[in-house]
């Protein structure tokens, strides 16, 4: 098992290229199952999650080629059964259910796995499929869905923590080949949903409203192959922006959509960070002093839960008291105890973390618990005095492409080592 060994205290300087969005790439990869014609997707990040998804597509019978960020898929003949040993490794694999149900009128897929950040049930996915006329059965750890023919309907997909992103994506894909019109109310509005919709439209789907709470889909008889480029990863961009601020550095973030990061950039500016957008890039540098701010995670276009841990690490350096409230995933403060090992003063009170910032951080061995917690620990390690070893970085490799190499190009003293 591998770790990052970080010798902190070095400001980051230079340019960093943001990779394609993992959260957009996974459902778009799944959407290639909707047609028997070739699809070419560019900007696919080379991550363990995208490699797992490519293996899942192969296991279903698709021809898959993945090279230099370009994925070519032809799902000419496919089966509707997804193997447990592949699906269990990644929660995002559930998004193959919608395309398989649409294309074959049946699917059997293992309940998915993923990192542990709180309850993430798939009940809204299944509710959407049932609204389209599918019969659902859960047995032996598998979900079976079947229908003589999917039929469009109007449905509400809002949940306890807001809209479901993967659930919206799954139902969108299933509805493209359904008879009639489907209306999804309380649909997720994330940029990744818009990117999926753009790809589906390029394949011949008839839909409108993506990016708003109401998406309307008129089913078509058949979809065809298409070419598409995935949007930049807004979470990776936010992570590097926060790393620049935490290390008192200055970096230019290239291939970045500032319009996808409004809530994050707004809070960084409030915290005393200078943000200058220009020609699709962002220049980020820390001002004279960091300031305490309050942050509440919300569905898009609010502050993203996937940036909460990284922001918490930054606020541990900001003098004063910040309150970070988590409204999406109830167990997403697992990084707090590890940040405390580096000297952060943070207390959990219900859904909020009370961050008493301004104390200097010092290096120590820490354990990553999930993808974004790992990024927070790397940021804290970069800002800390001395050496920090971040263990179990396989979580990081799920969502950040060559993070250590990108950080080294910015001047960070970071290396990948085998855990002892």
| Mean pLDDT of the region 86-102 | 87
Helices 371-383 and 308-315: crossing angle in degrees, nearest 10, is 20
The H or E element that residue 24 is part of is helix 22-31
The closest alpha carbon to 150, from 108, 215, 103, belongs to: 103
pLDDT tier at 118, thresholds 50, 70, 90: very low
Distances (CA, A) of 210 to 51, 59, 178: 27, 30, 18
Instruction: Compute the distance between CA of residue 303 and CA of residue 64 in angstroms, rounded to an integer.
Output: 36
Which of 114-128, 274-288, 307-321, 401-415 shows the lowest mean pLDDT across its residues?
114-128
- Measured in whole angstroms, the distance separating CA 414 from the mean position of its chain's CA atoms is 24
Give the domain 2-19+232-418 fold.
Answer: UDP-n-acetylglucosamine1-carboxyvinyl-transferase; Chain (3.65.10)
Residues recognised as catalytic? 115
Compare 86 and 292 and report the one with higher pLDDT: 292
Element (H, E) at 413: strand 413-418
Parallel, antiparallel, or unpaired for β 70-74 and 63-67? antiparallel
CATH of 22-229, one of 3.40.50.1370, 3.65.10.10, 3.40.50.150, 3.90.1150.110: 3.65.10.10
pTM: 0.96
Say what the pLDDT of residue 86 is: 76
Q: How far apart are CA 108 and CA 99, in angstroms?
A: 12
pLDDT at 83: 75
Q: Tell me how far apart the alpha carbons of residues 64 and 18 are, in angstroms, rounded to a whole number.
A: 24
Condensed to tens digits (0 to 9), the pLDDT of residues 343-379 reads 999 999 999 999 999 999 999 999 998 999 999 999 9
Lowest model confidence (mean pLDDT) among 38-47, 61-70, 133-142 = 133-142
Report the b/e string of 231-264 with b at 16+ CB within 10 A: bbbbbbbbbbbbbbbbbbbbbbbebbbbebbebb
Mean per-residue pLDDT of the chain? 94
> Within 10 A of 333 (CB to CB), how many other CB atoms are there?
23
Rg (CA), the chain: 21
Strands 295-296 and 320-325: parallel
Helix runs in 234-334, H state only: 234-246, 262-270, 308-315
Which residues, in sequence order, are CB contacts of 25 under 8 Å at separation 6+?
41, 43, 44, 45, 50, 53, 230
What is the rounded distance in angstroms from the CA atom of residue 286 to the CA atom of residue 274? 6
Segments making up each domain of the chain, as ranges: 2-19+232-418, 22-229
* Predicted confidence (pLDDT) at residue 88 exceeds the cutoff of 80: no
Residue 113's pLDDT band, with cuts at 50, 70 and 90, is low
Same fold, 2-19+232-418 and 22-229: yes
| Average pLDDT, integer, range 239-246 | 98
Pairing outcome for strands 181-185 and 154-156: parallel
Which phi and psi angles does 204 have, rounded to 5°? 110, 5
**For the chain, what percent of residues have pLDDT higher than 90?**
87
Main-chain phi, psi angles of 173, to 5 degrees:
-65, -45
């Amino acid at each position: 098992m591998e770790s990052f060994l970080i010798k902190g205290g070095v400001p980051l300087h230079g340019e960093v290229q943001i990779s394609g969005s993992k959260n957009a790439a996974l459902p778009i990869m799944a959407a290639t199952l909707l047609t028997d014609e070739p699809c070419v997707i560019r900007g696919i990040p080379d991550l363990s999650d995208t490699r797992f998804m490519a293996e899942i597509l192969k296991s279903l019978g698709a021809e898959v080629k993945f090279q230099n960020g370009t994925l070519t898929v032809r799902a000419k003949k496919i089966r509707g059964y997804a193997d447990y040993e592949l699906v269990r490794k990644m929660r995002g694999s559930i998004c193959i259910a919608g395309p398989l149900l649409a294309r074959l009128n049946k699917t059997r897929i293992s309940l998915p796995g993923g990192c542990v950040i709180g309850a993430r049930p798939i009940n809204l996915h299944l509710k959407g499929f049932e609204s389209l006329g599918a019969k659902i059965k859960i047995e032996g750890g598998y979900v079976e869905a079947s229908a003589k023919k999917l039929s469009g309907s109007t449905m509400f997909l809002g949940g306890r923590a807001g809209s479901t992103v993967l659930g919206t994506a799954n139902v969108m894909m299933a509805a493209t080949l359904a008879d009639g019109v489907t209306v999804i109310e309380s649909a997720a509005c994330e940029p990744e949903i818009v990117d999926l919709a753009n790809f589906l439209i390029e394949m011949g789907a008839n839909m409108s409203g993506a990016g708003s709470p109401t998406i309307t889909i008129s089913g078509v008889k058949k979809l065809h192959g298409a070419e598409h480029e995935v949007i930049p990863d807004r979470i990776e961009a936010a992570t590097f922006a926060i790393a620049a601020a935490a290390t008192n550095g200055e970096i230019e973030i290239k291939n970045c959509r500032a319009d996808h990061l409004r809530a994050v950039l707004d809070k960084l500016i409030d915290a005393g960070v200078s943000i200058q957008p220009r020609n699709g890039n962002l220049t980020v540098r820390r001002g004279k002093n960091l300031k305490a701010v309050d942050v509440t995670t919300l569905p898009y276009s609010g502050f993203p839960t996937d940036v909460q841990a990284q922001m918490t690490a930054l606020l541990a350096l900001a003098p004063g008291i910040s309150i970070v409230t988590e409204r999406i995933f109830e167990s997403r403060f697992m990084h707090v105890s590890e940040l405390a090992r580096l000297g952060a003063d943070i207390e959990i009170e219900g859904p909020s973390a009370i961050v008493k910032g301004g104390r200097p951080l010092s290096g120590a061995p820490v354990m990553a618990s999930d993808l974004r917690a790992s990024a927070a620990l790397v940021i804290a390690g970069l800002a800390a005095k001395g050496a920090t070893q971040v263990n179990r970085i396989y979580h990081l490799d799920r969502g950040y492409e060559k993070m250590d190499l990108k950080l080294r190009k910015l001047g960070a003293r970071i290396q990948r080592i085998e855990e002892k």
